[in-house]
Chain A
Amino acid sequence: MDSTKKVIKLKVNGEAYEVAIKPRMTLLQLLRNELGLTGTKQACMDNSCGACTVIVDKMAVKSCSILAMQVNGKEITSVEGLASKDGKLSPLQESFLEHSAFQCGFCTPGKLMSSTAMLEEMPDPTEEDVRRDMEGNLCRCTGYVQYLEAIMDVVGKRKEAAK
């Protein structure tokens, strides 16, 4: 093994991995280049746009700005982990589809990850909460309305189901 590499262990979408990496590798590069999980997108690379958002230990984070070494031993969920094993989409994924909550689709994985983490933490957000919480996810096509509707639809349906 290359002596400058270090071994880390982590769980991604429920699966355990052990990988030897150079310390300079970011979590984003690990997911895309080492594990072949290209659903997580690379865009601004300077912590601005949120396209690379994944969930680490239940928190949404920007994978371009975290070293892979720092997630040693942690559990990661990327967009590939949202649907169940048999391919059934998550309620947010369904709702994004239903509302056509994307234009080019490049920011969609990041938006799905941010909104998934948000609804875990805050089950009953107002529209204002959602707008505020999702500010770290930019959409170059400016498609900000449909995904807001998609998220609020999931919130509404959950409330309905809880009755």
Chain B
Amino acid sequence: MKDFEYFSAGSLQEACSLAYEYKDVGKILAGGQSLITLLRQKLISPTCLIDIKGLKELEYIDFDQSAGLRIGALTTHRAIEKSPLIQEKYSVLSEMEKSVASVQTRNWGTIGGNLCSADPIGDPAPCLIALGAKLKLVNAKGERVVPMEEFFVDYFTTVIEPDEILAEIQLPLPASNTGVEYMKFSTIEAGIKIVSTSVAIAVKPGTDVCDGAKIIMSAVAPIPLVANKAAQMLKDKKLTDDLIVEAANMAASETDPTSDVHASAEYRQQLVKVIVKRAIRQAFEKAKKA
């Protein structure tokens, strides 16, 4: 690891001014569960790190009956997994967090750091997109809110500007008549996911007719992939088994996976067909009970 200057920010305001001052050479450090490895492997070598991990003001889980859920960007994966509030109202989020890396990584790693590292194998992003999340980005001058679908640009790249810091993840109230399911395929639980998907299905009350769908997959494209064509196939249709299989196949055709040591591109595409099909079925069942 190369030497760098290190600042520990005492407040979000201080972090923002440091981020502005060092915007050409600095990196924001949260839990560092991806960043430290990248530094060690010299894949990146910033000359300055701005450590925000200690900012308690960005560590919270708040629920409001009208506004929905707000999660501070420095909330750990473990805190989200264990939150009784999230288990009750957004159970899919807690279920997903349970399979993010290992306990040790979840204890130190933060949700905001995970999203900003923008690794396309990450599970939180697809799940949060399915739940309709928005991200609050702040800098020294103000803030802006970005829908999560528009956050990711390319491998390890987001719309976040060098002087901006992700401060909060905002989720709307759980949608009525809607079920959300997370599903993954990995060889071991704490290992790299070969593919995963999060699916939200809304049904017209009392029917088997789909009122809207979102299908998002990880590890099959440079960014979390939203399968728009597959979702469109389901809208306003009765969700028969045949249609679900067709939609899952469509989702697989929308992917652009690469081959790596974990799986070949063909294998990933084949797995998408299976897990998206299963996830649609599960989300549909949940929606009918929601």
Q: Which residues of A contact B (CB under 8 A)?
A: 4, 6, 22-24, 26, 45-47, 50, 53, 56, 59-62, 64-67, 69-70, 72, 114, 118, 132-133, 135-137
Contacts and interface: CB of A to CB of B under 8 A. Distances in A.
Contact of A69 (B6, B41, B188): B6
Interface in B21-69: 29, 32-33, 36-37, 39-41, 49, 51, 53-54
Interface stretch (B99-107, B177-185, B216-224, B247-255): B99-107
Main secondary structure on chain A at its contact with chain B?
mixed
Interface residues of B, number: 30
B103 A60 contact: yes
Contacts of B51: 67, 69-70
A133 B2 CA distance: 34
Contacts of A66: 32, 36, 108
B108 A61 contact: yes
B36 A26 contact: yes
B37 A47 contact: yes
B153 interface: no
A71 to B, nearest CB: 10
Given A24-B2, A47-B33, A70-B32, A114 B40 contact: no
B107 A67 contact: no
Given A67-B36, A72-B8, A47 B190 contact: no
B121 to A, nearest CB: 14
Nearest to B6: A23
Nearest to A25: B1
Among B33, B102, B104, max chain A CB count under 10 A is at B104
Contacts of A56: 108
